[in-house]
Structure 1
Amino acid sequence: MSEEMNVKVDQDFREGDIVKGVAARVEDKAVTVSIEGAPFDGIVPISELSSLHIEKASDVVSVGDELELIITKVEEENFVLSKRKVDAIKAWDKLEAQFATGEIFDAEVKDVVRGGLVVDLGVRGFVPASLVEDYFVEDFEDYKGKTLSFKITELDKDKGRLILSHRAVVEEQKNSKKKQVLTGIKEGDVLDGTVQRIAPFGAFVDIGGIDGLVHISQVSHDHVEDVNSVLTKGQAVKVKVLSVDPESERISLSIKDTLPGPWSNIEERVTKGSVLTGTVKRLVSFGAFVEVFPGIEGLVHISQISHKHINTPHEVLKDGQEVQVKVLDVNGAEKRLSLTIKELLENPEKEEEFDYELPEETSGFSLSEVIGDRLKGFK
């Protein structure tokens, strides 16, 4: 307590003196206090009980409470006193020290007003809406009575101005956690994460205090047009760290690399000689790539497209066409699938074979004689 806060102990009472009083009677709008050694009681108006607005004096004072007060006026057979001003004198010294050091402290939110929150620190502290959280808050009613951590961002004792920020504390804590995460992870790590935001180009995933980007190409083994069709905000996912840039605090992640690939166990699902239905995905000069399962394409070499000689696959096939293919070879390790369309088609150029039945009894006749007799009819 500063020198000006010395409590009055003699019998001469003047304005500005600090005294101790005991609440003798508590009414709605005032508290009557008895002061030791004083010739008469004093009155503390409700407006002088707290730096905050209160509806009834009994909300903050009960009969028998000992209060530290300052005499603001000496009237005939009465003192007018203030508890609020004593609290403020004691509070400003502490607040100035906290402001100078950037100290973080906890305090209860006493009220929610238009534009922000109110905190009682011996003086009225105001938390503007923009300094409550690091995200937009639509309704602050749930904050009343809640204890939060604060830093002082602005202090003017002469004007009685005290601005607090919870957002500054949150951001400071997040930055500290970011640095810990950035120094603790490396390329190739597989981590648990939570989807925080979804954008047209990918998703931001929280991996424990910092967000990393999963580009749309790294969401799934399948082609993804809309990230929302695959992921939802708040979804728990596993991610693989692709790269870390501590200076820019950028982390590239992949969900795809933590999932079984489409080629996984392909040799158990596809066997040589099996017939599949697929879709032509790409036509190139040397053949056609046909998708037979999501993410699995096999090559139909140009020589395996048709029995007829063709110069380009475009003569027979088109993109998006559905075709039947036969598996010629499958190699899961090299992710190669060789297919044929030709072997499932009839060959129109194949020569008709003779299909003559020999008589059941042919003793006495040679094969040449039998065929010769039949050929006579063509002369």
Structure 2
Amino acid sequence: MGEENKELLELHVDDTITGKVVRLEEKQVLVDIGYKTEGILPISELSNLHVESTNDVVKEGDELTLKVKKVEDDEVILSKRAVDSELAWNDLVEKYEKGEVFETEVKEVVKGGLVADVGVRGFIPASLVETFYVDDFTDYKGKKLTVKIVDLDKEKSRIILSHRAVVEAEENEKKVVLLQSLEPGQVVEGTVQRITNFGVFVDLGGIDGLVHISQLAHEHVEKASDIVSEGDKIKVEILSIDRDNERISLSHKNTLPGPWTNIEERISSGDTLEGTVKRLVNFGAFVEVLPGVEGLVHISQIANRHIGTPQEVLEVGQKVNVKVLDINESEKRISLSIKELEQEQAEQEYKQYEKEEEEFGIHLGDLIGDKLNKYKK
């Protein structure tokens, strides 16, 4: 008996020992540690995380490394949590110093964030889970997340983890690679992220570029939202890149067929078109016949009579009908005439008048003939 007591007395608080699980009870686990009595491992000392049932963590026959928490008479209280914590803290300090990224499993969803098992109880605040706002974290329980340690205090047993920092670092790396790969003149596809009164921000796959409102279309654009909507996939040409300030200028207009492209398939000589007077110059008037396509009505083609300036007959914004005299796609030039249409109109009216005169004459002849016949009788 004295020998056994002596053995028990040699067991001190904080000693690390090994033992085998012999029985699982509701609130504790009994462990054979080779002494007179079996050691007691309370459920609260099984893990750094909340444990519902002892068999969630250990099973009979398991060999465990444990720390002595208390020695009192024949009772020995043991802790698995203390050993796990010691090992985990050493590992975590190393990870923290290296800024290491590692995977962990979310064990609980609590107020203000998530609890993860990193050997000790790690906390991921709600604001450090994602780069975007998450309304409900229920689905995160049991989910594996890549994290890095952002704050660590062994004294207070506090460890703060961040998944957001990992995502941001990955996005930043992608951004750097993307910035290096882009060159002016390249045409790429992007997604419209944000529409402002001065243009559109387009996501090129991790970095945004700006399409100024003047670069959205060939024609004048009043509101960017008239041309694109958020979420639209659009092609853009890279105009310039400022890598230091991460600024990219883009053009959507340059990826679209120009207003003059295939113009000769859409307009032919002899066509009559409606247009809008855009500019008046001393030698004639420029009339827009299609968006972005202007033709010239030479001063000699404006009216049938001689005029000194186009302003005598036309004004900016006026709608006019014009006849196409000549068209040249390569030189982006169209010659138009208002005079010819007026002449054609006058000729038509004269022909109509002649026709009516003729018909009237025939009708009159018949009528007079009838009357004369009566008198002949």
TM-score range, shorter chain: 0.7 to 0.9
Q: Quick check: 1:190–1:238 contact (8 Å CA) kept in 2?
A: yes
> Equivalents in 1 of 2:72, 2:305: separation in Å?
119
Match of 1:13 in 2: 11
What is the SS of the residue equivalent to 1:257?
A: helix
Match of 1:113 in 2: 110
Q: Quick check: 2:19–2:34 contact (8 Å CA) kept in 1?
A: no
Cα distance change on mapping 1:160 and 1:314 into 2, 3 Å? farther
Q: Quick check: 1:11–1:37 contact (8 Å CA) kept in 2?
A: no
> Equivalents in 1 of 2:277, 2:23: separation in Å?
92
Q: Which runs of 5+ in 2 are unaligned?
A: 1-6, 355-377
Cα distance change on mapping 1:293 and 1:349 into 2, 3 Å? closer
Q: Quick check: 1:18–1:71 contact (8 Å CA) kept in 2?
A: yes
- Deviation of 1:187 after TM superposition, in Å, equals 0.9
Query: Quick one: which amino acid aligns to residue 97 of structure 1?
Result: E
Q: 1:24 aligns with which of 22, 25, 28?
A: 22
> Which whole-Å deviations, capped at 9, do the CAs of 1:147-178 have from their partners, x for residues lacking one?
22222111111111211222222222222222
Q: How many residues align?
A: 345
1:193 partnered with 2:190: yes
Query: Quick one: which amino acid aligns to residue 96 of structure 1?
Result: V
Query: Quick one: which amino acid aligns to residue 44 of structure 1?
Result: L
Question: Alignment RMSD, CA only?
Answer: 3.1
Report matched runs for 1:196-211 at 5 Å: 196-211=193-208
Q: Percent of aligned pairs with the same residue?
A: 56
> Equivalents in 1 of 2:144, 2:186: separation in Å?
37
Q: Quick check: 1:19–1:35 contact (8 Å CA) kept in 2?
A: no
What is the SS of the residue equivalent to 2:325?
A: strand
Q: Quick check: 2:33–2:39 contact (8 Å CA) kept in 1?
A: no
> Equivalents in 1 of 2:260, 2:233: separation in Å?
25
> Equivalents in 2 of 1:232, 1:144: separation in Å?
36
> Equivalents in 2 of 1:211, 1:105: separation in Å?
29
Match of 1:377 in 2: none
What is the SS of the residue equivalent to 2:60?
A: coil
1:141 partnered with 2:104: no
Match of 1:71 in 2: 68
> Equivalents in 2 of 1:129, 1:300: separation in Å?
68
Match of 1:275 in 2: 272
Q: Quick check: 2:21–2:32 contact (8 Å CA) kept in 1?
A: no
> Equivalents in 2 of 1:70, 1:98: separation in Å?
24
Report matched runs for 1:1-379 at 5 Å: 12-28=10-26, 30-283=27-280, 286-310=283-307, 313-346=310-343
- Deviation of 1:343 after TM superposition, in Å, equals 1.9
What is the SS of the residue equivalent to 1:54?
A: coil
Q: Quick check: 1:13–1:38 contact (8 Å CA) kept in 2?
A: no
Cα distance change on mapping 1:232 and 1:117 into 2, 3 Å? farther
> Equivalents in 2 of 1:190, 1:306: separation in Å?
47
The farther-off stretch of 291-300 and 99-108 is 291-300
What is the SS of the residue equivalent to 2:83?
A: helix
What is the SS of the residue equivalent to 1:14?
A: coil
Q: Which runs of 5+ in 1 are unaligned?
A: 1-8, 357-379
Cα distance change on mapping 1:224 and 1:48 into 2, 3 Å? farther
